[in-house]
Homo-oligomer: A and B are copies of this chain.
Amino acid sequence: MIRILELEAKILSEGQVFPGEILKVGSFLNQQIDVGFLMKMGEEIARLYKDSGVTKILTVEASGIAVAFAAAVKLQVPMVFAKKHQSLNLSPDLLKSSVFSFTHKKTYDIVVSREYISPDDVVLIVDDFLAKGNALIGLIELVEQAGAKVAGAAIAIEKGFQNGGEMIRKRGIRVESLAIIDSMTDDSITFRH
């Protein structure tokens, strides 16, 4: 697996650790976006998946959109973002799954119009963070509901000390994270290499 050392340097210099194993990278990834840097991340994601026949990128609003957009530009495929809803009537036109958020301690639905993922699609799932894996599993379920193929997942920052990445890789799904954090305290962040 490939890591971008520049991403690790940026996490170390700009990331802020908060109680509850929360890492804030709002200065370049989550609220303010360093678009030149994200385009580099998109280039790396494209390099990793260039031979996978990807036809579409899927992410979830809102903080996944920028990195997914960058990857889609570099892979030259369309991207789709799932929308989050508190609750929703089931419509046959929608792909839908439920995601429990540990950060917000509640369950929300993620939905995509069925017309935007077809059974012929080979879908690369892109997101900014991977922790316990709930959002990623929800996105995988959307692709499966569409009858499409999952090429794999590309994640900006994986919290390797939580079990999401391990669990999803054990299911045989390729997960590439540009940085994997092995441990994180107020004083230090250690990366897996």
A contact set with B: CB distance below 8 Å: 26-27, 31-36, 38-39, 61-62, 65-66, 69-70, 72-73, 76-81, 83, 112-113, 115-116
Complex contact B76–A33 (CB within 8 A): no
* Copies, count: 2
Q: Which residues of B sit under 8 angstroms from A116, Cβ to Cβ?
A: 26-27, 31-32
Closest to A112 in B: B31
Known pairs A62-B62, A113-B26; A73 contacts B39 (CB<8 A): yes
A112 CB contacts on chain B under 8 angstroms? 31
Q: Which residues of B contact A70 (CB under 8 A)?
A: 69
Q: Could you list some 9 contacts between A and B, CB below 8 A?
A: A26-B116, A31-B83, A31-B112, A34-B78, A35-B69, A36-B73, A39-B73, A65-B69, A69-B70
Bound form: Cα–Cα A36–B38 in Å:
16
Known: A65-B65, A66-B65. A33 touches B113 (CB 8 A): no
Instruction: Report the bound CA distance from A34 to B57 in whole Å.
Output: 11
Residues of B within 8 A of A36 (CB): 73, 76
Q: Are A81 and B69 in contact (CB under 8 A)?
A: no
B39 adjacent to A81 (CB under 8 Å):
no
